[in-house]
Amino acid sequence: MYSPELFFRRPEFIHSLQQVIEFLGTFAFAISGIRHAAAKKFDWFGGFVCGIAVAIGGGTIRDVMLGVTPFWMTSSIYMICTIFAQVFVIVFSKSLKRLDNTWFAFDTLGLALFTIAGMQKTLACGFPFWIAIIMGCMTGCAGGVIRDVLLNNIPVIFHKEIYALASIVGGVTYWVMYSLGIDVSVTVVTVFSVVCVIRYLAVRFHISLPQLPTEDE
Amino acid sequence: MYSPELFFRRPEFIHSLQQVIEFLGTFAFAISGIRHAAAKKFDWFGGFVCGIAVAIGGGTIRDVMLGVTPFWMTSSIYMICTIFAQVFVIVFSKSLKRLDNTWFAFDTLGLALFTIAGMQKTLACGFPFWIAIIMGCMTGCAGGVIRDVLLNNIPVIFHKEIYALASIVGGVTYWVMYSLGIDVSVTVVTVFSVVCVIRYLAVRFHISLPQLPTEDE
Amino acid sequence: MYSPELFFRRPEFIHSLQQVIEFLGTFAFAISGIRHAAAKKFDWFGGFVCGIAVAIGGGTIRDVMLGVTPFWMTSSIYMICTIFAQVFVIVFSKSLKRLDNTWFAFDTLGLALFTIAGMQKTLACGFPFWIAIIMGCMTGCAGGVIRDVLLNNIPVIFHKEIYALASIVGGVTYWVMYSLGIDVSVTVVTVFSVVCVIRYLAVRFHISLPQLPTEDE
């Protein structure tokens, strides 16, 4: 019989799992930045900057606002991961498109993990839940906005995909479950699933947020 | 007989008045961001981000540079105000244009108040007046620049309207009056009026700053 | 006989030389921002903001990430230097193009100096060398990216010129020489020369980084 509790009694397994997801998520985020850069004919340096911007941009803004040292300055893993992503894009450029479902999966895992990580860090700094939700969303989403600004594009999450909303609903779920006194392990797994499922359903069924009304009719 | 001193002897009145102006200013700033987002066909999330960017962007950059916690993380009023603005734009989209003079008035009040608030916070942190003037201007103006960057527009205050200049002249007025030893209440009211009047006159008489000279003739 | 050691025994000379280079570099950076702003028909305020963005943008992001007060808030010299640059562009707009080699020289000196200054400040804050290299590069390069974002252009250093790479190679050189226990004065002069020479050669022989591969062939 499958027993999720088993995992939670093995903290070293959870820790490793989290690190694997963080690596996959960072990798997928960096790949996204580098591919967009390639589409605009950026050079290797521009590609790396766009990759790193997606991978660490959101968390960096969060940490600056929280008043702590940006997370990527405490471990070189994010830089290394982006270098891997850069090499991967350069070597396997012709195969990237075929792997689109893989990137989507990794990216979604990353969004879910970064949302939770951003929330937990904010709560650990003593801020209330509504700020944690904003920071969780920012951790997952702001990097993509920076990428689009650097590429001189209109940020895609502002007019096309449901992306930030998955993070926000996940954040609210976290708040509700915490308020109900539910065990934190159960909460984290639930929030993680909620973010992934919403993101998946939105893309699968082409669900998007309503547009703002225009004035000129 | 009208006596402005009377108000200053009632600090709770001044405090309430300041809060009302701050709410109106934040509301007008958020409306400006959301309307610009609507013009670019952003969805609800994009509209909210643009609204909040105008409302809190300048003050956030100021606070990060001053090394203090961003002001909007200490009170949820700015988020709530932006949510109101968002609902207002969605419900009353057809009436927004007719209220343009109202938005202009609120926006001008906001610019004046945020200039003064930004200066006073900077001075309270122990920085000299020239930094306070820059921070006052940034508090009032940087949000609009962030909005234009997110919308992939050229920032309007860089080439069209006199906006930042009103804030800067207000800041210099503050400095001069402070150096002359004038009472702070009188100074604040004067600076507030100076910013509003300059902004009003610039728009009323289509006054703009000279363009930079071009090189290619 | 020429003896570079002589200079290093005269710290006041070195200090003055550093200040002169810093002023020239800041001036050239500001000129670059203002000229780009002029090409987009910005007004005087927009020109000043673009000038100051190039001059202090990179160092400001660095200082915010390091958790220290932005350097330009501790001395008014950077504002004054940008005001000079602004007046210069307005008065001598027709002569700017003829001086292009001068701007290039000043800009290159600035890049080299800001790289070293950014690295030394980061190391002094206790961070490891790989972060110092990133911060050195950011100090020299991020201002130009901010300028391009404000002007609604694609950042030029991402797809055209070798600029950041000169800074990074200089940073790696610093690291290697430091690890070898070489005297810091010799290291600084070498790094300075390396950055200048790479930048010069790249422009002289039209060397650029390879483009990222595109996916759609």
Tens digit of pLDDT for each residue in A33-66? 999 999 999 999 999 999 999 999 999 999 999 9
For chain C, which chains pass the contact test of at least 3 CB pairs under 8 Å?
Answer: A, B
Q: What is the mean pLDDT of residues C65-93?
A: 94
Overall average pLDDT of the C10-21 stretch: 78
Q: Which of C40, C50, C69 faces B67 most closely, judged by CB atoms? A: C69
Specify whether the CB–CB gap between C164 and C157 falls below 8 A.
yes
The tens digit of pLDDT for each residue in B79-96 reads: 999 999 999 999 998 888
Confidence of residue A9 (pLDDT cuts 50, 70, 90): low
Residues of chain C in Cβ contact (below 8 Å) with chain A: 64-65, 67, 127, 130-131, 134, 145, 149, 152-155, 157-160, 164-165, 208-215
From the list B42, B73, B151, the residue facing A212 with the nearest CB is B42
Which residue in chain A has the smallest CA separation from C164? A45
Q: What pLDDT band is residue B10 in, cutting at 50, 70 and 90? A: low
What's residue C9's pLDDT?
57
**Smallest CA–CA separation between C84 and chain B, in Å?**
14
- Between B217 and A131, the more confident residue is A131
Q: What is the mean pLDDT of residues A108-126?
A: 93
> Contacts of residue C64 in chain A, CB cutoff 8 Å?
64
Q: Quote the CA–CA distance of A161 and A126 in Å, as a whole number.
A: 32
What's the mean per-residue pLDDT of chain B?
A: 90
CB pairs under 8 A between B and C: 80
Give the whole-angstrom CA distance, residue C34 versus residue C44.
Answer: 9
Give the separation between CA C58 and CA C111, rounded to whole angstroms. Answer: 11
Tens digits of residue pLDDT in C140-171: 999 999 999 999 999 999 988 789 999 999 99
Residue C94 has pLDDT above 90, yes or no: no
Q: What pLDDT score was predicted for residue C4?
A: 47
Closest C-alpha among B121, B131, B133, B110 to residue B55: B110
Using an 8 Å CB-CB cutoff, list chain B residues near C42: 158-159, 211-212
Can you point out the beta strands (E) in A54-126? none
Provide, as residue numbers in chain B, all residues whose Cβ is less than 8 Å from the Cβ of A209. Answer: 43-45
Question: CB C31: neighbour CB atoms within 10 A?
Answer: 25
> Using the beta-carbon criterion (under 8 Å), do C165 and A79 form an inter-chain contact?
no
Distances (CA, A) of B167 to A201, B118, B172: 48, 11, 9
Q: Give the pLDDT band of residue C1 (cuts 50, 70, 90).
A: very low
Q: Is pLDDT of A8 > 80?
A: no
Instruction: Provide the shortest C-alpha distance from residue A119 to chain C (in Å).
Output: 20
Q: Give the chain B residue whose CA is nearest to the CA of C39.
A: B214
Mean pLDDT of C23-44: 93
Q: Is the pLDDT of residue B155 over 50?
A: yes
CA-nearest of B63, B48, B53, B56 to B78 is B56
Shortest distance between the Cα of A89 and any Cα of chain B, in A, equals 27
Helix (H, G, I), strand (E, B) or coil at A101: helix
Identify all chain C residues contacting A45, using CB atoms and an 8 Å cutoff.
157-158, 164-165, 209
Number of H helices, E strands in chain B: 8, 0
Q: In this structure, are residues C112 and C195 in contact, taking their beta carbons and an 8 Å threshold? A: yes
C98-124 pLDDT, tens digit per residue, is: 888 888 998 999 999 999 999 999 999
For chain C, the C-alpha Rg in angstroms (whole number) is 18
CB B212 within 8 A of CB C44: yes
Q: With the C-alpha atoms ordered A185, A190, A195, A201, is the resulting torsion angle positive or negative?
A: positive
Per-residue pLDDT for C217 more than 80? no
Average pLDDT, chain C: 90
Do C86 and C48 meet the contact criterion of CB atoms below 8 Å apart?
yes
pLDDT at residue number C16: 81
Length of chain C: 217
Question: Rounded distance, CA B156 to CA A120, Å?
Answer: 38
State whether A212 and B47 contact (CB < 8 Å). Answer: yes
- H runs (alpha helix) in chain C: 4-8, 11-39, 44-66, 77-91, 100-124, 129-150, 164-179, 184-204
Radius of gyration of the CA atoms of chain B, in A: 18
pLDDT score of A10: 64
Q: Is the pLDDT of residue A15 over 90?
A: no
pLDDT digits (tens, 9 = 90+) for A155-189: 999 988 789 999 999 999 999 999 999 998 999 99
> Could you tell me which chains touch chain B, where touching means 3 or more CB pairs under 8 A?
A, C
- Alpha carbons C31 and C53: distance in angstroms, whole number: 11
pLDDT digits (tens, 9 = 90+) for B198-211: 999 999 999 999 99
Chain-centroid distance, C-alpha B47: 19
Give yes or no for residue B153 having a pLDDT over 80: yes
**How far is residue C18's CA from residue C12's CA, in Å, rounded to a whole number?**
10
Q: What is the pLDDT of residues B92-146, one digit of tens each?
A: 988 888 888 888 998 999 999 999 999 999 999 999 999 999 999 999 999 999 9
Exposure string over B51-73, b if 16+ CB within 10 A, otherwise e: bbbbbbbbbbbbbbbbeeebbbb
The sign of the dihedral angle between the CA atoms of A16, A127, A162, A71 is negative
Interface of A with B (CB under 8 A): 64-65, 67, 127, 130-131, 134, 145, 149, 152-155, 157-160, 164-165, 208-215
On the question of pLDDT at A195 being above 90, the answer is yes
Residue of chain C nearest A154, judged by CA positions: C152
pLDDT at position B97 = 84
| pLDDT value at residue C74 | 94
Evaluate whether B142 touches B167 at the Cβ level (below 8 Å): no
Q: What is the pLDDT at residue C3? A: 46
Which of B60, B76, B152 lies nearest to residue A154, judging by beta carbons?
Answer: B152
Average pLDDT over residues C1-30: 73
pLDDT of A217 above 80: no
CA-to-CA distance for B146 and B168, rounded, in angstroms?
19
Residue B2: band (very low, low, confident or very high) from pLDDT cuts 50, 70, 90: very low
In 3D space, the residue among A81, A34, A78 whose CA is nearest the CA of residue A59 turns out to be A78
pLDDT confidence band for B3 (50 / 70 / 90): very low
C213: closest CA of chain A, how far (Å): 6
pLDDT over threshold 90, residue C26:
yes
Q: At what angle do helices B164-179 and B129-150 cross, to 10 degrees?
A: 170
Q: Best mutation site among B36, B43, B48 for testing chain A: the one with the most A CBs within 10 Å?
A: B43
Report angle CA A179, A176, A1 to the nearest 5 degrees.
Answer: 100
Min distance B15 CA to chain C CA atoms (Å) = 30
C-beta of residue B78 within 8 angstroms of C-beta of residue A134: no
pLDDT of residue C10: 63
Q: Contact A96/C215, CB-based, under 8 Å?
A: yes
C51-78: string of b/e by CB count within 10 Å (b at 16+)? bbbbbbbbbbbbbbbbeeebbbbeeeeb
Q: Are A38 and A93 in contact (CB under 8 A)?
A: yes
Of C162, C67, C55, C158, the C-alpha closest to C114 is: C55
Res. A7: pLDDT tops 60: no
Position B103 scores a pLDDT of: 87
Fill in the amino acid letter for B13.
F
Cβ(C60)–Cβ(C74) below 8 Å: no
Give the DSSP per-residue string, A130-166. HHHHHHHHHHHHHHHHHHHHHTT---GGGTT---HHH
List, as own/partner pairs, every contact residues C32-37 make where C-beta atoms lie below 8 angstroms and the sequence separation is at least 24, other chains included.
Answer: C32/C103, C32/C107, C32/C144, C32/C147, C33/C143, C33/C147, C34/B212, C34/C85, C34/C86, C34/C89, C35/B215, C35/C89, C35/C96, C36/C147, C36/C148, C36/C151, C36/C153, C37/B158, C37/B212, C37/C151
